[in-house]
Structures are given as structure tokens and as C-alpha cells.
Amino acid sequence: MLKTVIWAIAPLFLVACVTAPAPVRTGAPIDIGAGADGTGTASNLPTAPPPAGSFIPDERIKICTGLRVQNAPVNDRNGYVLDYDRLVVARDQIVLAPVPLNGGCISSGFGQRNGRLHKGVDISAPRGTWVYAAAPGIVLEAGWGGGYGNYVLVDHGLGLVTRYAHLDTFAEGLDVGSELGFGWPLGQVGNTSSRKVGVHLHFEVLTGNYNNPKKAFGMQGNDPFAFPVYQTPPVS
Ligand SMILES: [Zn+2]
């Protein structure tokens, strides 16, 4: 009986092993498999986070329809973002997912907006959609931050930091100092903020030195779609 049970669940572990700790730095071949096309609806959202490392970035992402999208990234006639790549390279070495969730659409791009710099991109997705670490790293900050609401700030090294804001919930056990692999769950999409915001992820890719008096506020924002594509090294 016990044997049967073990064999029944064994494939789950195999899948987890194959997809687990994904890219760390460029140079190592990785296979992220076939992801969704970015147009999915999250009708059957899991309430528990998916296994760490199981995140596969979507193949493409669209501009949201039916919303007033400011700073929309360049897109084709069907609304798909032309510069989107599933994985990009930041700081010449760090493999990063520019959209760290599945089934979202872009509700605001990076750049000047209403006279202020929108320091990230807004990715609209149903409340409860899981948000993942865009690259391996260590949690620098996790908590409540005014306009950001519930947010997580992750240090990827080499002067690269990412911020995930307006989260509804945090992944269990996540705290300052937590070490994360690529695609590890951080929390779920929500609309927490001191301001009125729609349900979306505000995602920032910051570069510079975090150890300045203004911390992350003193770092430079970057358009996640502007980084070069990550080319999977050929398997020899
Ligand atoms: Zn935003």
C-alpha cells in the first residue's frame, strides 16, 4: 500500500526537481519549457503557492484591453508587447523574468506619467495570482510601504534590486533575509496601497547602490522590457 502511494506521488517530485532552481547567472543552459501565452484567466487559482521553482514565464504578454493604458510598451496590432522576452539579462549576468507572474496584461508601462516617473510597470492580473521572484536573490525588505501597500524588495546582487508592490498576501515564511531561487513564490496580487489602486502588480527593476541614504528610493528605475534577451546557451 505504502509503495503504491510513493509511486503515485513520485512523478510530482520528479517534475519539481526538473524545474527547480532555475537560472542563477548566464552561462548555464536552462530549459524553462512551454509557458502560457499570457492571455489566460485565473479561474481556478490555487490558494496555496505552487512549488518553489515551478514558475514558467508566459511566452508573450498583451496590453490590457478596456483600460486606459499609459506609457504602453510598443505592441503589435493584436496588443502583444513587441519587446517582451520571457527571460532577459540584467547587469550583464543576471537572468531575469520581466513579468514575474502568469496570466497578466500590462496596464501601465514604465516612464513619465502625469508629470512623474512611473518607476515600474503595472501588470494587471486577478486578485490572488501568485507573484514570483524574477531572479534568485535575498529579501531586503518586506512589509507595508504607503503607496506601495504590501511589498517585497529583493536584492539580486551586482546592484540589481526588484520590487513587487500592492500585494494582497505574502508567501508564508517570507521575511527579510530569506534566500530565494528563481521563481519562488513571494505573495499574491492585490490592491493594497495608501492610495486607491486597481488590482495589479507594480513591478520595479532597480539598479544602483541600495546602500545610499534613500535606500531603494535612491536607485534608478529601469524598463524591464528594455533589457537584452537571454539566449539559452546551445546544449553541446
Ligand atoms: Zn505602478
Ligand 1 centroid to residue 48 C-alpha, Å: 26
Ligand 1 centroid to residue 78 C-alpha, Å: 23
Ligand 1 centroid to residue 234 C-alpha, Å: 36
Q: What is residue 234's predicted lDDT score, i.e. its pLDDT?
A: 78
Determine the 3-state secondary structure of 210 from DSSP.
Answer: coil
Cβ atoms within 10 Å of 75's Cβ, excluding its own: 18
Helix (H) or strand (E) holding 187: strand 185-188
Determine the 3-state secondary structure of 9 from DSSP.
Answer: helix
Ligand 1 centroid to residue 42 C-alpha, Å: 21
- Give the bridge partners for 201, in sequence order: 123
Instruction: Determine the Cα–Cα distance for residues 137 and 160; give it in Å rounded to an integer.
Output: 9
Residue 113 burial by Cβ neighbours in a 10 Å radius (0-12, 13-18, 19+): middle
Ligand 1 centroid to residue 88 C-alpha, Å: 20
Ligand 1 centroid to residue 203 C-alpha, Å: 7
CB 10 within 8 A of CB 2: no
Show the cell assigned to 54. 515551478
Ligand 1 centroid to residue 108 C-alpha, Å: 7
Of 187, 39, 191, 32, nearest in space to 103 by CA: 39
Q: Which residue has the higher pLDDT, 48 or 119?
A: 119
CATH architecture of 2-42+50-226: Distorted Sandwich (2.70)
pTM for the whole structure: 0.82
Q: Which residue has the higher pLDDT, 38 or 221?
A: 221
Ligand 1 centroid to residue 26 C-alpha, Å: 28
Q: Which residue has the higher pLDDT, 70 or 49?
A: 70
- Quick one: DSSP state of residue 105? E
Mean pLDDT calculated for residue range 206-235: 94
CB 72 within 8 A of CB 9: no
Ligand 1 centroid to residue 102 C-alpha, Å: 17
Ligand 1 centroid to residue 195 C-alpha, Å: 12
Q: What is residue 143's predicted lDDT score, i.e. its pLDDT?
A: 97
Query: Which residues 6+ apart lie within 8 Å of 225 measured at CB?
Result: 73, 81, 83, 84, 88, 98, 110, 121
Ligand 1 centroid to residue 4 C-alpha, Å: 49
Summarize pLDDT for 15-55 with one digit per residue, the tens.
333 333 444 555 443 344 444 444 444 433 446 777 887 89
Ligand 1 centroid to residue 235 C-alpha, Å: 38
Q: What is residue 52's predicted lDDT score, i.e. its pLDDT?
A: 80
Ligand 1 centroid to residue 53 C-alpha, Å: 26
